[in-house]
Amino acid sequence: MKVLKIGDIVQVQFGPHLKSNAQGAIKYLLAGHFDENLKLTNFQDSYVLPSPKINKFLLQSNDVILAGKGQRTFAWAYNEDMGPMVPSSLFYLLRALDDIILGEYLAAVLNSDKVQHKLNLIGAGATVTSIPKKELNELEINIPSIEEQRSFLKIYRLFEKDIELTDKLLQEKRNLKRGVVNDLLTNKTKS
Protein backbone atom coordinates (compact mmCIF):
# COMPACT_ATOMS: atom_id res chain seq x y z
CA MET A 1 0.00 0.00 0.00
CA LYS A 2 1.25 3.45 -0.92
CA VAL A 3 0.49 6.79 0.64
CA LEU A 4 0.12 9.40 -2.09
CA LYS A 5 -1.15 12.95 -2.35
CA ILE A 6 -4.39 13.57 -4.23
CA GLY A 7 -2.53 15.89 -6.59
CA ASP A 8 -0.18 13.04 -7.57
CA ILE A 9 -2.99 10.70 -8.63
CA VAL A 10 -5.65 12.98 -10.14
CA GLN A 11 -5.97 16.13 -12.21
CA VAL A 12 -7.99 18.61 -10.15
CA GLN A 13 -10.14 21.39 -11.59
CA PHE A 14 -13.43 23.07 -10.74
CA GLY A 15 -16.43 22.42 -12.94
CA PRO A 16 -17.71 25.32 -15.04
CA HIS A 17 -20.25 27.91 -13.93
CA LEU A 18 -23.01 27.67 -16.53
CA LYS A 19 -26.60 28.71 -16.96
CA SER A 20 -28.75 25.59 -17.02
CA ASN A 21 -31.76 24.91 -19.24
CA ALA A 22 -34.93 22.87 -18.75
CA GLN A 23 -33.86 20.67 -21.68
CA GLY A 24 -30.63 19.73 -23.36
CA ALA A 25 -28.25 16.97 -24.27
CA ILE A 26 -25.93 17.13 -21.26
CA LYS A 27 -26.93 16.91 -17.58
CA TYR A 28 -25.55 19.74 -15.45
CA LEU A 29 -24.91 18.35 -11.95
CA LEU A 30 -25.81 20.29 -8.82
CA ALA A 31 -25.63 19.18 -5.17
CA GLY A 32 -29.42 18.91 -4.93
CA HIS A 33 -29.43 16.14 -7.50
CA PHE A 34 -27.96 13.71 -4.94
CA ASP A 35 -29.91 12.08 -2.12
CA GLU A 36 -28.57 11.33 1.38
CA ASN A 37 -27.06 8.06 0.07
CA LEU A 38 -25.24 9.99 -2.68
CA LYS A 39 -27.40 8.50 -5.42
CA LEU A 40 -28.25 10.67 -8.39
CA THR A 41 -32.00 10.54 -7.87
CA ASN A 42 -33.42 14.04 -8.08
CA PHE A 43 -32.44 15.17 -11.54
CA GLN A 44 -34.59 17.69 -13.36
CA ASP A 45 -34.44 20.93 -15.33
CA SER A 46 -30.67 21.19 -15.30
CA TYR A 47 -29.14 20.66 -18.72
CA VAL A 48 -26.60 22.39 -20.92
CA LEU A 49 -26.06 22.32 -24.65
CA PRO A 50 -22.87 20.90 -26.18
CA SER A 51 -20.12 23.40 -26.95
CA PRO A 52 -16.32 23.36 -27.25
CA LYS A 53 -16.07 25.07 -23.82
CA ILE A 54 -18.14 22.34 -22.17
CA ASN A 55 -16.39 19.39 -23.83
CA LYS A 56 -13.31 19.56 -21.57
CA PHE A 57 -15.59 19.24 -18.53
CA LEU A 58 -17.61 16.25 -19.79
CA LEU A 59 -17.28 13.47 -17.27
CA GLN A 60 -15.33 10.43 -18.43
CA SER A 61 -14.86 6.91 -17.19
CA ASN A 62 -12.96 6.88 -13.86
CA ASP A 63 -13.83 10.53 -13.08
CA VAL A 64 -14.94 11.57 -9.61
CA ILE A 65 -16.63 14.77 -8.56
CA LEU A 66 -16.12 16.23 -5.10
CA ALA A 67 -18.39 18.90 -3.65
CA GLY A 68 -15.76 21.49 -2.77
CA LYS A 69 -18.14 24.28 -1.79
CA GLY A 70 -21.31 24.30 0.22
CA GLN A 71 -22.95 22.70 3.22
CA ARG A 72 -22.33 19.08 2.25
CA THR A 73 -18.96 17.65 1.26
CA PHE A 74 -19.20 14.39 -0.68
CA ALA A 75 -17.63 12.55 -3.60
CA TRP A 76 -19.37 10.66 -6.39
CA ALA A 77 -17.90 8.37 -9.06
CA TYR A 78 -19.21 8.84 -12.59
CA ASN A 79 -20.53 5.90 -14.59
CA GLU A 80 -20.73 6.26 -18.39
CA ASP A 81 -24.08 4.43 -18.41
CA MET A 82 -25.64 7.58 -16.94
CA GLY A 83 -25.06 9.55 -20.13
CA PRO A 84 -23.19 12.80 -20.72
CA MET A 85 -22.78 14.99 -17.64
CA VAL A 86 -20.91 18.10 -16.58
CA PRO A 87 -20.34 19.05 -12.93
CA SER A 88 -21.25 22.57 -11.84
CA SER A 89 -18.70 24.93 -10.32
CA LEU A 90 -19.71 23.63 -6.89
CA PHE A 91 -17.71 20.48 -7.68
CA TYR A 92 -14.09 19.66 -8.20
CA LEU A 93 -13.63 17.41 -11.20
CA LEU A 94 -11.07 14.75 -10.23
CA ARG A 95 -9.72 12.95 -13.28
CA ALA A 96 -8.07 9.86 -11.79
CA LEU A 97 -5.08 8.07 -13.32
CA ASP A 98 -6.45 4.65 -14.34
CA ASP A 99 -3.28 2.71 -13.56
CA ILE A 100 -3.06 4.02 -9.96
CA ILE A 101 -6.58 4.40 -8.62
CA LEU A 102 -10.12 3.43 -9.58
CA GLY A 103 -12.56 6.34 -9.51
CA GLU A 104 -15.13 4.40 -7.52
CA TYR A 105 -12.50 3.52 -4.92
CA LEU A 106 -11.37 7.17 -4.73
CA ALA A 107 -14.98 8.29 -4.13
CA ALA A 108 -15.37 5.70 -1.35
CA VAL A 109 -12.15 6.89 0.31
CA LEU A 110 -13.15 10.56 0.00
CA ASN A 111 -16.54 9.73 1.59
CA SER A 112 -14.95 7.82 4.50
CA ASP A 113 -15.27 9.35 7.96
CA LYS A 114 -11.52 9.81 8.31
CA VAL A 115 -11.09 11.72 5.04
CA GLN A 116 -14.36 13.64 5.52
CA HIS A 117 -12.95 14.89 8.84
CA LYS A 118 -9.76 16.04 7.09
CA LEU A 119 -11.76 17.74 4.32
CA ASN A 120 -13.93 19.52 6.88
CA LEU A 121 -10.82 20.78 8.68
CA ILE A 122 -9.23 22.19 5.52
CA GLY A 123 -12.53 23.54 4.22
CA ALA A 124 -13.66 25.34 7.34
CA GLY A 125 -15.04 28.71 6.32
CA ALA A 126 -17.01 31.46 7.97
CA THR A 127 -20.44 30.32 6.81
CA VAL A 128 -19.99 28.14 3.72
CA THR A 129 -17.41 25.39 3.51
CA SER A 130 -14.89 25.83 0.71
CA ILE A 131 -12.04 23.37 0.19
CA PRO A 132 -8.98 25.13 -1.24
CA LYS A 133 -7.47 23.39 -4.27
CA LYS A 134 -3.92 23.58 -2.89
CA GLU A 135 -4.89 21.80 0.35
CA LEU A 136 -6.94 19.23 -1.56
CA ASN A 137 -3.93 18.44 -3.77
CA GLU A 138 -1.79 17.95 -0.63
CA LEU A 139 -4.25 15.57 1.08
CA GLU A 140 -2.65 12.14 1.52
CA ILE A 141 -4.58 8.89 1.16
CA ASN A 142 -3.68 5.19 1.30
CA ILE A 143 -3.76 3.50 -2.09
CA PRO A 144 -3.58 -0.28 -2.35
CA SER A 145 -2.99 -2.14 -5.60
CA ILE A 146 -5.68 -2.02 -8.30
CA GLU A 147 -6.55 -5.65 -7.50
CA GLU A 148 -7.02 -4.82 -3.80
CA GLN A 149 -9.16 -1.84 -4.78
CA ARG A 150 -11.37 -4.13 -6.88
CA SER A 151 -11.73 -6.54 -3.94
CA PHE A 152 -12.62 -3.66 -1.63
CA LEU A 153 -15.24 -2.41 -4.13
CA LYS A 154 -16.94 -5.82 -4.31
CA ILE A 155 -17.55 -5.70 -0.55
CA TYR A 156 -18.38 -1.98 -0.62
CA ARG A 157 -21.04 -2.50 -3.33
CA LEU A 158 -22.61 -5.32 -1.30
CA PHE A 159 -22.96 -2.97 1.67
CA GLU A 160 -24.39 -0.26 -0.60
CA LYS A 161 -26.96 -2.72 -2.00
CA ASP A 162 -27.85 -3.91 1.51
CA ILE A 163 -28.39 -0.30 2.66
CA GLU A 164 -30.51 0.43 -0.43
CA LEU A 165 -32.70 -2.64 0.22
CA THR A 166 -33.05 -1.76 3.90
CA ASP A 167 -34.11 1.79 2.98
CA LYS A 168 -36.75 0.41 0.59
CA LEU A 169 -37.99 -2.01 3.25
CA LEU A 170 -38.29 0.81 5.80
CA GLN A 171 -40.23 2.92 3.30
CA GLU A 172 -42.61 0.03 2.63
CA LYS A 173 -43.12 -0.45 6.38
CA ARG A 174 -43.89 3.29 6.74
CA ASN A 175 -46.39 3.04 3.88
CA LEU A 176 -48.01 -0.03 5.47
CA LYS A 177 -48.25 1.75 8.83
CA ARG A 178 -49.89 4.79 7.16
CA GLY A 179 -52.36 2.54 5.39
CA VAL A 180 -53.29 0.64 8.56
CA VAL A 181 -53.70 3.86 10.56
CA ASN A 182 -55.84 5.41 7.81
CA ASP A 183 -58.01 2.27 7.62
CA LEU A 184 -58.45 2.20 11.39
CA LEU A 185 -59.38 5.88 11.52
CA THR A 186 -61.75 5.53 8.58
CA ASN A 187 -63.46 2.48 10.10
CA LYS A 188 -63.76 4.18 13.53
CA THR A 189 -65.54 7.18 12.04
CA LYS A 190 -68.01 4.90 10.20
CA SER A 191 -68.96 3.06 13.42
Residue 45 has pLDDT above 90, yes or no: no
Strands 26-29 and 85-87: parallel
Buried residues in 64-101 as b, exposed as e (16+ CB within 10 A) = bbbbbbbeebbbbbbeeeeebbbbbebbbbbbbeeebb
Q: In angstroms, rounded to a whole number, what is the distance separating the alpha carbons of residues 189 and 191?
A: 6
Q: Domain range for residue 37?
A: 2-143
* Same-domain check for residues 69 and 37: yes
Query: Are both 162 and 130 inside the same structural domain?
Result: no
CB atoms under 10 Å from CB of 131, counted, come to 23
> How much is the pLDDT for 188?
67
> Is pTM, for the whole model, over 0.75?
yes
Regarding whether 117 and 31 lie in a shared domain, the answer is: yes
Task: Output the furthest CA–CA distance in the chain (Å, rounded).
Answer: 73
Question: Which CATH number does the domain housing residue 22 bear?
Answer: 3.90.220.20
Whether residues 176 and 150 share a domain: the answer is yes
pLDDT digits (tens, 9 = 90+) for 176-188: 999 998 888 887 6
Confidence of residue 190 (pLDDT cuts 50, 70, 90): low
